[in-house]
Amino acid sequence: MNPKETSIVKVAIDVPIDDFFDYQCEENVAFGQAVLVPFGSRKVIGIVVEIDSSTELEAHQIKKIIRVDDDILLNEELFKLFKFVSSYYHYPIGQTIHIAVPSNLKKTEKVLNKKSYIYEATDLLNKSAIDQISARKKNLIEIAKVIFKEKQTDEALKTISINWKKYVKELITLNFVREREYQKTKIIQKTTALKLNQEQSEIYEKIIAAQGFEAFLIYGITGSGKTEVYMHLIEQYVKNNGQVLILVPEINLTPQLEDRFTSRFSNYLVISLHSQLTQKKRLENWEQAKNGKAQIIIGTRLSVFTPFKNLKAIIMDEEQDLSFKQHDKLRYHARDVAMMRAKLLNIPFIAGSATPSIEIWHRSVNENKLLLHKLSIRAVKDATLPKINLIKDETNLENEGISEYVISAIKHHLSLHQQILIFINRRGYAPVLFCSSCGWYASCSRCSSKLVVHRSKQHLRCHHCDYQRGIDSSCKVCGNVDLMSLGSGTQKVEERIRKLFPKAQVRRVDRDTIKTKASLDALYQDMSDKKIDILVGTQMLSKGHDFPNLSLVVVLDSDNALYSSDFRASERLFSQLVQVAGRAGRGSIPGEVIIQTNFPEHPLYQSVKNQDYESFASEEINLRKELNFPPFCFQAVLRAESKNKKNVENFINHVYSMAKQINTEDVEVFHPVQPFLDRLKGFERYQIYYHSKNRSSLNKFLNFLKVEIHANKQLNKVKWYLDIDPVDF
Ligand code: ADP
Ligand code: ZN
Ligand code: ZN
């Protein structure tokens, strides 16, 4: 056939080449439609991005589309967004477009929908039955234990082991477990809107009056009723089939939050989009967002790329949260993408936080790019901000990191039958296994990091690559058998607290004990049922939830961040402390916070004590201005890694001299350096920072540099990528 008579279409394919691909098509296709195409020796699903196109390929070079699917995966609005995102973050366009498409739509073989199951214990499953399982079958035991504790869904079991099916089958054969088909039905009580207070209504009125794109920042102390404001806004936006996207941090998307929206908006479909959904559920929700059936969509960062039918506003809660920035592949920041999307759709963007990021604060206060609104009092009647005490850390090895002051405060709150949260941002037992006679410590063989002692599983673990091994019984250098577990993590604090308060119900909460949203849900239930007196946990606990009976928060060991070389470390520490302090006194019981530190006079702790975000932020901004750091410059970093140190050194030096030769006055090229972890998962790492006052100069410069690197075949032996507006060192 003569290719001139059939149509040529351009197709976006999920490959690392920054271009579209031409195919010949003999059927009718629409923009955004999924097609199966030959690509090299493979067949892949692509997305049509141009119809009736022309091609520079010769007739014999052009291949035919194999199959046209019904699914429309892209619309013009998203296409514009993806083009911007791809060029801004220097990520290939095809891969960018494919980023948020549910993978089950991209199967080259069509699959059937699967059912969901729930697994529950039979009468035969009990403690002694579990004890009789061979100790070698660790996964089998773990799965038996969790099912024994409470019934589990297939989704939950999946997170324990990828071979969960095999183990569950074995348990079913043993008659320990039975399987039931499962349908999610949850009875949720209806709630009605609260009457907004003065501050809340002022904000509400301003935002609802917005015509088209406008950006707002709600700076409201913890518990000031930001969520209530969002809900009042949503009520307006969803009228006439409107949709609202609510972006929340990974850790905040708990069933409670969903329930809070579901119960308020019982006449509308509320859905969530996050990484813990099954593929089937994710696809179902994605479709409902796309066809407009779901009107309230609560999602984590990736949901910013969801297709919508009639989006009226984007709300981003806890704007400062680190999980909004993606750390691999397409390294986007959901906040900036969301603002761009709101602009393209000409709808309002509303960010909320008790401790906004310094960037956003600067853009609001000094540049007027977002309209700033403040909520300065707690919304619940009589609730006040907790009093924060800074206590000099006078602990020694004997009292193992918990001071007398803290111990007596815990006693006092226990005697009042109130709940206590002890916050330590390090999981495991101790961060270092140390030999006091020669100074040796256990380190990871694949990363430049120390191994963390885990008591509960009796092993050492690398928190960067998850390498694990048994705990050394003697020093590898001098043979000393008296090794010390230095410092403390959640497990050590838990152990100590149990010893000190044997009658109290103590629960540890960290990534080792909480693996699924369901287990987090159960924890919140136990808290509200008062089955827990003392919670010991990491930042997993620092956000999002109301524990009305929680009156004391203790912060241990947060000084580390003061020594960090990362210029954002103090911003993060401030935010974390304010968040965790905000857990106390949410109800009508007054709250108390104790921060145990070696530096009670440090200005950062002083501003936390005074709960004075604004003066902290203005100090930070002055400092950044002096140092010429973001937000006073735009930053990008090129990172490279290789198993071979020589290769990566050659590469980085070469790139450095290439960059130096690119003629630009606007871009400052820094010397290559090794990141904080100079070796990770066996890879040696280097990076080069680029700064510019001018975003588009920086972008042009990077485009130029990319071309040069790609042109130099010899350089392409190492893995490298660009990270735009990086947030980690
Ligand atoms: P934030 O999101 O700022 O942390 P929330 O919206 O979760 O705050 O509100 C904190 C608490 O205050 C919740 O228990 C909420 O029900 C209550 N609340 C919020 N607004 C009001 C109001 N206008 N009147 C009474 N209680 C309110
Ligand atoms: Zn030694
Ligand atoms: Zn490691």
- Taking the CA of residue 354 as reference, the ligand 1 atom at the shortest distance is 3
Of 239-253, 327-341, 361-375, 595-609, the range with the lowest mean pLDDT is 239-253
Task: Please report the pLDDT score of residue 228 as a whole number.
Answer: 95
Of the listed ligands, the closest to the CA of 445 is 3
For the chain, the average pLDDT equals 90
* Predicted confidence band of residue 1 (pLDDT cuts 50, 70, 90): very low
The binding-site residues of ligand 1, defined as CB within 6 angstroms of any ligand atom, are 194-197, 200, 220, 222-228, 379-380, 546
Mean pLDDT of 717-721: 92
Of the listed ligands, the closest to the CA of 376 is 1
* Predicted confidence band of residue 159 (pLDDT cuts 50, 70, 90): confident
Task: Please report the pLDDT score of residue 657 as a whole number.
Answer: 94
To test ligand 1's pocket by mutation, which of 227, 316, 320, 376 has the most ligand atoms within 8 angstroms of CB? 227
**pLDDT tens digits for range 259-310:** 889 999 988 999 999 988 888 889 999 999 999 999 999 999 999 999 999 9
How many angstroms separate the CA atoms of 36 and 15, rounded?
Answer: 14
Mean pLDDT of 321-325: 94
- Retrieve residue 272's tokens: 């969530």
As a residue count, the chain comes to 729
- Retrieve residue 145's tokens: 């234990």
Task: Please report the pLDDT score of residue 650 as a whole number.
Answer: 94
- Please determine, for residue 678, whether its predicted confidence score (pLDDT) is greater than 50: yes
- Please determine, for residue 185, whether its predicted confidence score (pLDDT) is greater than 60: no
* Predicted confidence band of residue 111 (pLDDT cuts 50, 70, 90): very low
- Cis peptide bond N-terminal to 672, omega within 30: no
Task: Please report the pLDDT score of residue 5 as a whole number.
Answer: 54
Ligand 1 centroid–CA 116 distance in Å is 36
* Predicted confidence band of residue 587 (pLDDT cuts 50, 70, 90): confident
Ligand 3 centroid–CA 682 distance in Å is 8
* Predicted confidence band of residue 39 (pLDDT cuts 50, 70, 90): very high
Ligand 3 centroid–CA 443 distance in Å is 8
- DSSP per-residue codes, 713-727: GGGTTSEEEEEES--
* Predicted confidence band of residue 455 (pLDDT cuts 50, 70, 90): confident
Ligand 2 centroid–CA 123 distance in Å is 52
Task: Please report the pLDDT score of residue 3 as a whole number.
Answer: 42
Mean pLDDT of 608-626: 94
To test ligand 1's pocket by mutation, which of 202, 219, 228 has the most ligand atoms within 8 angstroms of CB? 228
* Predicted confidence band of residue 181 (pLDDT cuts 50, 70, 90): confident
Beta bridge partners of 534: 420, 506
Of 94-98, 124-128, 348-352, 574-578, the range with the lowest mean pLDDT is 124-128
Ligand 1 centroid–CA 492 distance in Å is 35
Ligand 2 centroid–CA 441 distance in Å is 8
In 10 A of CB 120, how many CB atoms?
14
Backbone phi and psi for residue 659, each to the nearest 5 degrees, phi listed first:
-65, -40
Task: Please report the pLDDT score of residue 667 as a whole number.
Answer: 96
Largest CA distance in the chain: 87
- DSSP three-state, residue 23: strand
**pLDDT tens digits for range 457-514:** 889 999 988 999 999 999 999 999 999 998 889 999 999 999 999 999 999 998 888 8
> In the chain, what percentage of residues exceed pLDDT 90?
67
End-to-end CA, the chain: 56
- Taking the CA of residue 195 as reference, the ligand 1 atom at the shortest distance is 23
Answer yes or no: pTM beyond 0.75: yes
Q: How deeply is 527 buried, as exposed, middle or buried, from its count of CB atoms within 10 A (0-12, 13-18, 19+)?
A: buried
- Please determine, for residue 31, whether its predicted confidence score (pLDDT) is greater than 60: yes
CA 531 to chain CA centroid, Å, is 29
- Please determine, for residue 110, whether its predicted confidence score (pLDDT) is greater than 60: no
Residues with CB under 5 A from ligand 3 (ion): 444, 446-447, 462, 464-465, 467
Task: Please report the pLDDT score of residue 472 as a whole number.
Answer: 93
Dihedral-angle region of residue 542 (phi above 0 means left; psi in -120 to 50 means alpha; beta otherwise): alpha
